[in-house]
Amino acid sequence: MNKVDLRSDTITLPTKEMLDAIAGAELGDDVFQEDPTVNQLEDLAATKFNKEAALFVPSGTMANLVAVLSHCQRGDEVILGDQAHTFLYEAGGISAFGGVHSRQIPNQEDGTLLLEDIKKSIRKEDVHFPPTRLICLENTHNRCLGMPLSVDYTNSVTEIAKINSLSVHVDGARIFNAAVSLGVSVTELTENIDSVSFCLSKGLSAPAGSMLCGTKDFIEIARRNRKALGGGMRQAGVLAAAGLVALEKMTDRIIDDHKNARTLAEGISNINGISINLDRVKTNIIYFSLDHPKVDSALLLEEMAGKNIHFFELGPSWFRLVTHAGVSEGDVDDVVGEFERILS
């Protein structure tokens, strides 16, 4: 059987068009801002998000780190969700390298932070407290069932930020999934926020790279921070060439990943032992839990791996399946068939 890798959309491989673009890319030294392909990608990203400027960085993790370092000084505080990727999965970089204090508030199941919680977490001016400087959101929210945050919700947060002179950064690793799911543009989703990062290397299938978008002044600071972190790549146009194809050609196909996720979720929803909230399947990420009289987590994963189907258990008996360009409709049917076989 075909390998069906549902562990993450980060495993997507570059398309033939990307490989051709890489081979033909015009190159220069990007630390001197002389790589025409990187410059073109940065211009395109800024235009697509209607921001003044953009910066190409090696990864989503570095994009978020650079963003936080560029908004905050050492000793400042950032408000973010307790399920945020930046809090859980980025090696604590914002505190390790930036000396930035994190204030985690509970993420709701839909990926939001309660507005009341945000308001209550903003520090008063007091010598005892780290000054609150930034609020971080994540859209779509990876740990919170891949849920998209709406334009209205995002604007409610930016409104609070504005009143309190704070900035807002959105970890938009999968912001195109959010836009497709909500039927809005990425510009609408990010209109009032100060900075947004997004990944070229997930649903958009580029081999590496993320973008950070914001004002010209912000991106100037971010460029210095990227250099300080060792993220100034010289002939980075080899990667940016694939990123251009990703941004120009791959955003429209994300809807297929959402359709496949829905088919997969519906297909397994009635299988003995599986619990899944279909109302919360909005993008390319599905979570389900397992409670079966004969099959435990280890056995399920082993049986599936035996059929070359791979996915992660992210908590006890709690699993994640991610659809992407490497997963076809036929693969989805095969996976549902295997769940039925193992759990019936």
Ligand X SMILES: Cc1ncc(COP(=O)(O)O)c(C=O)c1O
Residues near ligand X (CB under 6 A) are 10, 59-61, 85, 138, 142, 171, 173, 199, 201, 210
Cα distance between residue 136 and residue 141, in whole Å: 12
Q: Answer whether 276's CB lies under 8 Å from 268's CB.
A: yes
CB-wise, 86 or 132, nearer to ligand X? 86
Q: How far is CA 205 from the centre of its chain?
A: 13
CB-wise, 173 or 264, nearer to ligand X? 173
The nearest distance, CB 126 to ligand X, in angstroms, is 32
C-alpha distances out from residue 20 to 38, 204, 210, 299, Å: 16, 16, 20, 42
The nearest distance, CB 43 to ligand X, in angstroms, is 22
CB-wise, 59 or 195, nearer to ligand X? 59
* Alpha-carbon dihedral 43, 44, 45, 51, rounded to 10 degrees: 60
Around 270, how many Cα atoms within 13 Å sit in the side-chain half-sphere? 4
CB-wise, 77 or 138, nearer to ligand X? 138
335: Cβ contacts below 8 Å, ≥ 6 apart: 4, 6, 264, 267, 309, 321
The nearest distance, CB 295 to ligand X, in angstroms, is 28
The nearest distance, CB 131 to ligand X, in angstroms, is 25
CB-wise, 14 or 60, nearer to ligand X? 60
The nearest distance, CB 170 to ligand X, in angstroms, is 10
The nearest distance, CB 308 to ligand X, in angstroms, is 23
CB-wise, 77 or 171, nearer to ligand X? 171
Task: Name the residue whose CB lies closest to ligand X.
Answer: 60
Phi, psi of 7 (to 5 degrees): -70, -40
State the alpha helices, DSSP H only, in 145-253: 151-163, 175-182, 186-190, 216-228, 237-249
CB-wise, 72 or 343, nearer to ligand X? 72
H or E stretch covering 4: strand 4-5
The nearest distance, CB 168 to ligand X, in angstroms, is 16
Task: Tell me the one-letter amino acid at 281.
Answer: V
The nearest distance, CB 93 to ligand X, in angstroms, is 10
Strand 318-322 versus strand 285-290 pairing type? antiparallel
3: Cβ contacts below 8 Å, ≥ 6 apart: 308, 310
* Alpha-carbon dihedral 210, 212, 213, 219, rounded to 10 degrees: -140
CB-wise, 173 or 254, nearer to ligand X? 173
